[in-house]
Structure 1
């Protein structure tokens, strides 16, 4: 008796899981600057804080931005 495998190809997609928050952070990339904001669930707040930091320190205009969330894979119908 031979064992046979049955392969079923189903399309999937990935989306943000609706029960989890989105988290935003920002960190200044200027040399020796320790400024950072977050984590926060308000992306506008992170943006505003980074722009205010640049307003106080004109040469601090580069930031690392992270937007993190829990994702789930679901079947695409």
Structure 2
């Protein structure tokens, strides 16, 4: 399965079961089996909690969308 990037997940055309912030909190932050938080690693950087990374990406994408063109 190909991983989805933030632009795909947060695209208005991508159908999610919950609003994006709720999706991040309930489904994309930690394992429901182990309770361990998911981590995101970009390139050589240190891992970041997925909730932090996804929330930041969502804010960035929303700011770009709201910016005057």
Q: TM-score range, shorter-chain basis? A: 0.3 to 0.5
State the structure with more CA Rg.
Answer: 1
TM normalised by structure 1 equals 0.30
Identify which of structures 1 and 2 has the higher relative contact order when contacts are C-alpha pairs closer than 8 Å and 6+ apart: 1
TM normalised by structure 2 equals 0.33
From the two aligned structures, give the one with the greater helix fraction.
Answer: 2
From the two aligned structures, give the one with the greater strand fraction.
Answer: 1
